[in-house]
């Protein structure tokens, strides 16, 4: 009986630690050092020339980019910058954005969507 209880406790502890390792303690993107991107055109041309190389440089890394807002979607808490960068925000970080307003954001780079021809960034925050 004691052996079964010990096995159960060890199994639960391993399961809990495994869960915390895989899903707990997410990254704090706002406090991470960002790769500064000079313009949407520069990063877009990097992906046009060599997508594999650009993915190695930017994929799943925190990037900082600035540009003009071309579209605001309050339903999905997202904006489109210079018509090429889709940036999504957590609901708590989404602000009242206006089209044609300049903005500087920081977030995790997800990749290039060749179907929509957009660069995707999530977990964005506004840099003032």
Angle of CA points 37, 42, 46, to nearest 5°: 105
pLDDT tens, 88-113? 998 888 888 889 999 999 999 998 88
Q: What is the pTM of this model?
A: 0.74
Largest CA distance in the chain: 70
Cβ distance 85 to 40 under 8 Å?
A: yes
Residue 95: its pLDDT value, please? 83
Residue 25: its pLDDT value, please? 58
pLDDT tens, 14-61? 888 777 767 655 666 666 777 788 778 888 888 888 888 988 988 889
Residue 69: its pLDDT value, please? 94
Q: How many domains does the chain have?
A: 1
Residue 127: its pLDDT value, please? 86
Q: How far apart are CA 101 and CA 71, in angstroms?
A: 10
Q: Is residue 82 part of a domain?
A: yes
Q: Residue 122 maps to which CATH number?
A: 2.40.50.140
Domain coverage including residue 85? 29-126
Residue 3: its pLDDT value, please? 83
> What's the whole-number mean pLDDT along residues 60-67?
90
Q: How far apart are CA 117 and CA 55, in angstroms?
A: 15
Answer whether residue 80 shows pLDDT above 90: yes
Per-residue burial over 83-107, b = 16 or more CB atoms within 10 Å of its CB, e = otherwise: ebbbbbbeeeebeebeeeeebebbb
Give the strand pairing for 35-36 and 62-73: parallel
Q: Is residue 2 part of a domain?
A: no
């Amino acid at each position: 009986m004691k052996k079964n209880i010990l096995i159960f406790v060890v199994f639960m502890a391993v399961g809990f630690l495994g869960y915390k390792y895989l899903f707990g303690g997410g990254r704090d993107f706002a406090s991470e050092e960002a790769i500064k991107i000079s313009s949407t055109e520069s990063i877009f041309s990097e992906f046009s020339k060599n997508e594999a190389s650009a993915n190695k440089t930017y994929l799943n890394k925190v990037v900082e980019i600035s540009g003009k807002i071309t579209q605001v979607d309050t339903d999905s808490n997202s904006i489109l910058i210079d018509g090429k960068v889709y940036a999504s925000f957590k609901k708590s970080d989404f602000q009242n954005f206006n089209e044609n307003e300049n903005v500087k954001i920081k977030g995790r780079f997800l990749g290039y969507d060749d179907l929509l021809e957009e660069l995707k960034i999530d977990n964005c925050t506004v840099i003032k």
